[in-house]
Structure 1
Amino acid sequence: MFAFASSLGQTFFISLFVPFLAADLGRTETALAAVYGLATVAAAVLLPWIGRLVDRVDLLRLGGVVVAVMLAAGLAFSQARGLPVLVAALILLRLCGQGLMSHIALSGVARYVARGRAKALAVAGLGHAVGEGLLPLTVVFALGLWDWRVVFAGASLVIGGVLAPFALWAVRGRRRLRRPARPSASGGAREGRPLLRDPRFWALAPALLAAPFIVTGLVFHQGLIARGLALPPALFAAGFVGFAVVQAPAALIAGAAIDRYGSRAVLLVHLLPLAGGVALLAAWPQPWAPLAFLLLAGVTNAWGGLLRTTLATDLAGVSRVGAARSQIAALMVVSTAAGPSLVGLVLGLGTRAGLAAIALGAVAVVAPAVFVRTSEP
């Protein structure tokens, strides 16, 4: 329920209202994109500091505060008439919705479930997939009936005022889920080591952050890629349906694999689908290639989403999973911010040559991870 409710602050949801907001405020969509980017970076800076509270306070109380702030931010966004209110609302929506709602959901599951943790995380993460599949169509239908401000306020009240509180009510008696975890006796000296001071993490980080960096960069430049490969841009737009649909089964498969073989084993192979999809675009720029690329990128995206939580648990232990996961999330935002610029430079070498270089790079960044041992069973 919390993973689903995080949709209120997700890009796919907010972007549906941007054309209407731009018209009301007399701003261009490009200008609003810059404001949105700055708000996202501000939220990413705050996330590690607030996200570590997951390890220290009752999740029921923390969740209640986050839901209340998210609801207030959603209502403020729906009534924004100027930039100050809009910026404040966007920062809080990105922080509480996209950031903390997902963070509480996945960190809570990670520390509550020991056996079969990755499969449990995959099931919890289905809330994201349901939101991505259900809400855009619902919003488009509603926008045909009501003003966008009414629709966004209504969505805020339903998600933040009904669904999320119901989720909190459902866990009120689960004290082991709610209270902070203690360092395990079996964790040894490594249990609880700060993630950013752990050399193992920095060896794994290139492989862990490569997927969001590459996917964001390539999606941002999809028009340039389409022109360079002489393909209709609409093929990429259609392929995003496959990108969304494939992630749910891919996450369930990855969850079973992580539980059986460990996070590091899946990390070593999780970039192969993405690299294969990029290579297909470079080698065979046929009409089916964008769909194949986005399907394979969706597989890698689903696997990477799970790995960011399971590796945080393996490296930092359940007692620090909240702090570790929020730090990884902040680094991921930095990687996605850098992706469009750096991927654009590589594509400047020539579309097909640039795609081939990106495919090889996706494989190469895994090399340091081969020599890393984590504290997983």
Structure 2
Amino acid sequence: MSFLSLLRRDRDVLAFGFAFTFASSLGQTFFISLFVPSLSQAVAVGEPLMAVLYGAATVASALCLPALGRRLDDTDLLRFSVWVLLALAIGGLVLATATQVAMLAAGLFLLRLAGQGLMSHIALTGAARFFEEHRGKALSLTGLGHAAGEGVLPLTVVVLIAWLDWRWAMALCCLVLAGVIAPAAMALVRRNAKFRCPLATLVGVESRKRASSALLSDPEFWRLLPLLVASPFTITALIFHQGWLAGSLGLPLAVFAAAFVGFALIQAPTGFLSGAVVDRIGSRRVLQLHVAPFIAGVLLLAVFGNGWAVWAFLALAGVTNAAGALLRTSMVAELVTPDRLGAARSLVSACMVVSTAAGPAVYGLFIAAGLEPPAVLLTAALSLALCVLPTIRWRKLFRV
């Protein structure tokens, strides 16, 4: 089935997924970072403390994600969505009115948990369990919301901050995304019992409780996990330290900022291609190959370190980022039954979120140790390549 045929057949479900991944932008790093200077000034904290608070909120949200995410297996999807939207809106409004460190920490936690964590979890888990036959294509269409948010919201937010003030800008974004777009999408699937249905109610409570433990006891999961989290760990770390990279390479930071256009634009076609290939050959082979473009981009930046290498680096990072976002759902969906998908995917998402919090800190240690950009980038490329090795079935590879 083609993408257009799938869109025509299940446009309401796909529109719901797109809207929720788009609205999850409220909790994504690229969105929150636009308000960091204003938040630091309003709450009278320096950016180093802001980074600590942000990392702590990210880790705390990741620790909560498995316990909350598994509820999607035994709760009506729309009822669950209402509570998540409420938490997302409260988090945004708390940040928009923050005057104290406690308010700042609470707002960051709610945005990271409800936005980056649960909004994406609802959209991708819902699509993965509803579309068993064309899962890859459906996940790529659902994930377009992430790319749309990265492409549309940064400039929009900058304009709103200049026009209205940062507090009103954040409040307006929360109102539109969490108060209008996402609820409108929920109305589209209100009568779709199959999409809303908590599949785990059909298999019993004990089966649901075993979902995460079964995944944790599966050796296959542990072989795949490093590769599932390697790209977000490394991409987040290198983008977080882009100012150091630019300065050390003798480039203006504006080069990196402009190159993010390539990072955003490449993700839509990559998502389409990855979804079609996953449907054809399965997730494992695509998982093993999906870090290759990013490794190539890292090596180009390490060797050349000029403006066009930055564009290549971020464009190829976008390819890996888009494919990885799809694979973290499709791969898990191939390891567990649909009734356990919510618990299993939330566990993987928690690992991914922790990796994005740890990445900047780990690479910060490399920088503090005095490593130059080529050494840091070569370390990144090597670590990504090493994560592929456990996923290779060596006995099958060398079987005569």
Which has the larger displacement, 341-350 or 260-269?
Answer: 341-350
The equivalent of 2:57 in structure 1 is 39
Aligned with residue 272 of structure 2, among 240, 252, 256: 252
The equivalent of 2:291 in structure 1 is 271
Aligned with residue 360 of structure 2, among 326, 336, 340: 340
The equivalent of 1:307 in structure 2 is 327
The equivalent of 2:143 in structure 1 is 125
**Is 2:137–2:279's contact at 8 Å kept on the other side of the alignment?**
yes
**Is 2:96–2:168's contact at 8 Å kept on the other side of the alignment?**
yes
What aligned pairs does 1:321-336 form with structure 2 within 5 A after superposition?
Answer: 321-336=341-356
What aligned pairs does 1:91-106 form with structure 2 within 5 A after superposition?
Answer: 91-106=109-124
**Structure 1 residue identity aligned to 2:271:** A
The equivalent of 1:368 in structure 2 is 390
The equivalent of 2:32 in structure 1 is 14
* Structure 1 pair 86–223 and aligned structure 2 pair: CA distance change class (3 A): closer
Q: 5+ residue gaps in structure 2? A: 1-18, 396-400
**Structure 2 residue identity aligned to 1:70:** L
Please identify runs of 4+ aligned residues in structure 1 that moved more than 4 A: 182-185, 344-349
Determine whether 1:107 maps to 2:125.
yes
- Give the aligned length: 369
Please state whether the residue corresponding to 2:307 is helix, strand or coil. Answer: coil
The alignment's C-alpha RMSD in Å is 2.2
The equivalent of 1:204 in structure 2 is 224
**Structure 1 residue identity aligned to 2:385:** V
For residues 293 and 307 of structure 2, what CA distance do their matches in structure 1 show? Answer: 19
Q: 5+ residue gaps in structure 1? A: none
**Is 2:72–2:198's contact at 8 Å kept on the other side of the alignment?**
yes
Aligned with residue 167 of structure 1, among 156, 168, 185: 185
For residues 217 and 317 of structure 1, what CA distance do their matches in structure 2 show? Answer: 33
**Structure 2 residue identity aligned to 1:361:** S
* Offset, 1:150: 1.7
For residues 32 and 322 of structure 1, what CA distance do their matches in structure 2 show? Answer: 32
Determine whether 1:357 maps to 2:375.
no
**Structure 1 residue identity aligned to 2:114:** C
For residues 299 and 218 of structure 2, what CA distance do their matches in structure 1 show? Answer: 33
* Offset, 1:143: 1.6
* Offset, 1:85: 2.1
For residues 349 and 140 of structure 1, what CA distance do their matches in structure 2 show? Answer: 34
**Structure 2 residue identity aligned to 1:178:** R
**Is 1:217–1:343's contact at 8 Å kept on the other side of the alignment?**
yes
* Offset, 1:271: 0.8
* Structure 1 pair 75–343 and aligned structure 2 pair: CA distance change class (3 A): closer
**Is 1:258–1:266's contact at 8 Å kept on the other side of the alignment?**
yes
Aligned with residue 291 of structure 1, among 288, 311, 336: 311
The equivalent of 1:139 in structure 2 is 157
- What TM-score results when the alignment is normalised by the length of structure 1? 0.92
* Structure 1 pair 343–119 and aligned structure 2 pair: CA distance change class (3 A): same
* Structure 1 pair 116–293 and aligned structure 2 pair: CA distance change class (3 A): same
- What TM-score results when the alignment is normalised by the length of structure 2? 0.87
* Offset, 1:184: 10
